[in-house]
């Protein structure tokens, strides 16, 4: 059973407003910072995932710290990482990107113009260049992880967090598949 939060629940300074979705790492919620009155996206890391590997939490927090250090217009910025011992999960506080993702556009069967596609590709390339400066490899580039603001800015999500899902950074195992099969590079 995955831990779920309800509308109105408090998580530290954040009040839960709605569930945005569920990813491989757990649930993602839209929340409001009660003091600053700004929206944030919060990703929960459920106890089941944490319980599978005792070092997971330390690794998760280390990765979140790394992700926090990347400040770039084309990266979904990570603001905070917290552990809620009472409820038994960790959570990441990120900027909320209000325009959905590229997968949503593909689902609505809209065909991107050449210009729109180039803007998206350029934005993702910029994000990856910023990540490379911190020696971060994303490993899961796919339409779901390419977010858009209503203004049309492109932001890559799950940077530095994508790689914590199955293994340690220092421990890239050969013959272990990382990422989403449909979007893996052939090699």
Catalytic residues: 140
User: b/e for 138-152, b at 16 or more Cβ within 10 A?
Assistant: bebbbbbbbbbeeee
Alpha-carbon Rg for the chain in angstroms: 16
Of all residues in the chain, what percent are helix, strand and coil, respectively (each to 5)? Answer: 30, 25, 45
In sequence order, what are the residues at sequence separation of 6 or more whose Cβ sits closer than 8 angstroms to the Cβ of residue 109?
A: none
What is the sign, positive or negative, of the torsion defined by CA atoms of 80, 51, 21, 85?
Answer: negative
What is the tally of helices (H) and strands (E) in the chain? Answer: 4, 8
């Amino acid at each position: 059973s995955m831990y779920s939060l309800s509308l109105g629940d408090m998580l530290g300074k954040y009040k839960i407003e709605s569930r945005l979705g569920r990813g491989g790492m757990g649930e993602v919620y839209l929340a409001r910072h009660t003091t600053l009155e700004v929206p944030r996206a919060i990703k929960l890391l459920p106890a089941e995932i944490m319980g599978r590997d005792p070092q997971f939490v330390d690794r998760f927090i280390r990765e979140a710290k790394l992700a926090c250090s990347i400040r770039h217009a084309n990266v979904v910025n990570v603001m905070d990482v917290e552990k809620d011992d009472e409820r038994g999960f960790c959570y990441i506080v990120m900027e909320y990107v209000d325009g959905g993702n590229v997968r949503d556009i593909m689902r609505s069967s809209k065909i991107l113009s050449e210009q729109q596609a180039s803007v998206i590709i350029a934005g993702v390339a910029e994000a990856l260049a910023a990540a490379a400066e911190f020696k971060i490899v994303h490993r899961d580039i796919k339409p779901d992880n390419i977010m858009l603001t209503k203004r049309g800015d492109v932001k890559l999500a799950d940077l530095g967090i994508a790689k914590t899902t199955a293994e340690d950074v220092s421990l890239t195992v050969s013959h272990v598949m990382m990422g989403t099969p449909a979007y893996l590079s052939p090699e």
